[in-house]
Structure 1
Amino acid sequence: MHSLLDKKRLVAFDLDGTLIDSVPDLAAALARAFNEEGLTPPSVEAVSGWVGNGAQVLVERALGWAFDVPEATLDEALSTRVYAAFLRHYGDAPHRLTQLYPGVADTLKALDQAGFVLILITNKPERFIAPLLSHFAIDACFSLRLGGDSLARKKPDPLPLVHAAAHFGVPANACVMVGDSRHDIAAGKAAGFATVALTYGYNHGEPISQSAPDALLDSLTELLSTSATPTVSSTRTAR
C-alpha cells in the first residue's frame, strides 16, 4: 500500500472525476435540457470545467454561460425548469457514456479486502449514486455513500467527512480523502483528514497541485504501489 495509508483506517472517495469520467453523460443531459428551451448547448469541454459543486450549480454555470450573465442574475423560473429537465434527462441515462477510470475497480476491491472502511462522498445528488455504482459493480466496496443532498452541507464544507468519520468511530487522523478537485482537498484538510489528489479529472482548469495535497497521484492504482503496510482495524459495519 502507499505509505500515506500507513495507520489509516478509513478512506473517502469522491466520485465524478475520481472514480468515473461522467462528463459526457452530464453534457448530454444538459444538451437535452437546453434544447427544450431553444438554447445552444455547451461543449463537453466546457461542462468539464463546471463540475464539482453539485448539479444545481452545474446548471447555473451553464445558463450563465449561455446568457453571458452572472449566475446570480439568472431568471429563477428558467433555472428551475432547466434544472428539473437536466435531472430528468440525466436520470434516464446516467451511465450510457460514463466510464470507470482505469484501475479503479481493482484498487477499491484491494483496499476493501485489506480491511479499510471505504466511503463515497460526492456532491452529486444522492439518487444517482446507487445506479452508477451498481452499473460498474463497485457498490459492494462502500460502507457508506453520501451525496450532495444527503446532509445540510456538502464539499468543500467538511461536514460530510466529519459525519462519516463519526459514524464509524474513526478519528480524523486515521482518515484519508481522495479526490480530483480543490473542493475535495479543502474539505479533507478542514476535517483533519490526510488528502490525496489525482491529476486527472475535473478541477476547473486548475492544476490540483495548487491545493497542496499530502499526496499527488496520476492513477488510483498508485494507492497500492508501495510495500508499506497500513494498520487497519475492525471498524467496518455490515453494509
Structure 2
Amino acid sequence: MNSIRSDQSRFDAAIVDLDGTMVDTLGDFAEALNRMLRDLGLPQVPPAAIERMVGKGSEHLIHSALVHVMTPAGAADAAGVQASAQALFERAWERYQHHYLAINGQYSAVYPGVVEGLQALRARGLRLACLTNKPTSFAKPLLAAKGLEGFFEQVFGGDAFERKKPDPLPLLKTCEALGTAPSRTLMVGDSSNDARAARAAGCPVVLVTYGYNHGEPVRGVDADGFVDSLVDL
C-alpha cells in the first residue's frame, strides 16, 4: 500500500465498491434469500454459504442459492439441478426483489473507517463514484439509508451497463462519466472481481482485507495494495 499512499497526487478520482467494501450486507442477503426460499417451499441457506456466493450480481446470487439448496448430498446430476434452478429463477427473482426492497439496509452495517476514509478522499480533491454489481434500485436506497450517498457524484449498479465486473466495461464507463483517465482513477474493492476489472480497464486497485472474496484469501489476489480500513487510504 505504501506506493499508493505516498503518491496520491497521481489520482483524480476513486471508484468504490459497495457490498463488502463499504457496507457489510451479508445479513440483508441472508434475510432476503431465506424469505425467498420460504416462499418457494425450499430449505434455508446458511450465511456462511451465502458469503461465498456474493459479488457477481443478484442473478448469480439467487441462482447459486437455488442450486445450493436443491442439490442432494452426493448428487451427481448437476445438469438436472441447474435446469431445475433455472426453471424456478423468474419466480425466485420476483420474490427476492420483493423481500430485498422491504428489508434493504435493516440487517447491514457500515464498516468502521468507511465514512472517515471517504471524507479523506474527498478532502484530497478526488471525485468519487460507487460502482457495484448490486442492482441500482438496491444500491441507491442502501447508500441513502447508511448516509453515504452524499459522497458520490455517480452511482452505477450491475444493471447500468451491458456487462458486470469482472468485465472492465463498468469501470471504463464510470471513468467516462467522471471525465477521468483510468490510469488516474483508483478502484477500491474487496474481491478478485474488482481487481480483475481494474487490471483490464487500466485502473490501479486497492482491496480491503475484510470483505467477500468468494471464500478465498484476498491477499492472494493481484492488486496494488491492501488496507484493513478505508481510513488507511
Q: Say which SS state the counterpart of residue 118 (structure 1) adopts.
A: strand
Counting matched residue pairs gives 223
Q: Does 1:37 align with 2:40?
A: yes
* Residue matched to 2:74: none
CA contact (8 A) 1:148 1:154 kept: yes
CA contact (8 A) 1:125 1:147 kept: yes
Letter of the 1:20 partner, please give it: V
- Structure with greater helix share of residues: 2
Judging changes above 3 Å, is the alpha-carbon distance between structure 1 residues 188 and 141 closer, same or farther for their aligned structure 2 residues?
same
- Alignment match of 2:66 (pick from 63, 68, 73): 63
* Cα distance, 1:4 vs structure 2: 5.2
Report the Cα distance in structure 2 between the residues aligned to 1:17 and 1:136, rounded to whole angstroms.
14
* Residue matched to 2:176: 166
* Cα distance, 1:160 vs structure 2: 1.0
**Which runs of structure 2 are paired with 1:105-184 in the superposition (5 Å)?**
105-184=115-194
**Which runs of structure 2 are paired with 1:184-203 in the superposition (5 Å)?**
184-203=194-213
Letter of the 1:109 partner, please give it: Q
CA contact (8 A) 1:161 1:188 kept: yes
CA contact (8 A) 1:112 1:118 kept: yes
* Residue matched to 2:219: 209
* Residue matched to 1:97: 107
CA contact (8 A) 1:178 1:195 kept: yes
Letter of the 1:102 partner, please give it: P
Deviations 1:113-145 (A, max 9, x none): 321010011000000122111111111100111
Q: Say which SS state the counterpart of residue 104 (structure 2) adopts.
A: coil
CA contact (8 A) 2:189 2:208 kept: yes
Report the Cα distance in structure 1 between the residues aligned to 2:67 and 2:85, rounded to whole angstroms.
10
Q: Does 1:28 align with 2:31?
A: yes
Q: Say which SS state the counterpart of residue 49 (structure 1) adopts.
A: helix
CA contact (8 A) 1:4 1:215 kept: no
* Residue matched to 1:5: 8
**Which residues of structure 1 form unaligned runs of 5+?**
224-239
Report the Cα distance in structure 1 between the residues aligned to 2:21 and 2:231, rounded to whole angstroms.
12
Give RMSD over aligned pairs: 1.4
**Which residues of structure 2 form unaligned runs of 5+?**
72-77
Judging changes above 3 Å, is the alpha-carbon distance between structure 1 residues 6 and 72 closer, same or farther for their aligned structure 2 residues?
farther
Query: Could you state the TM-score of these two structures normalised by the residue count of structure 1?
Result: 0.89
Judging changes above 3 Å, is the alpha-carbon distance between structure 1 residues 135 and 75 closer, same or farther for their aligned structure 2 residues?
closer
Letter of the 1:103 partner, please give it: G
Flag as ranges the 4+ runs of structure 1 deviating above 6 A. Answer: none
Report the Cα distance in structure 2 between the residues aligned to 1:74 and 1:209, rounded to whole angstroms.
36
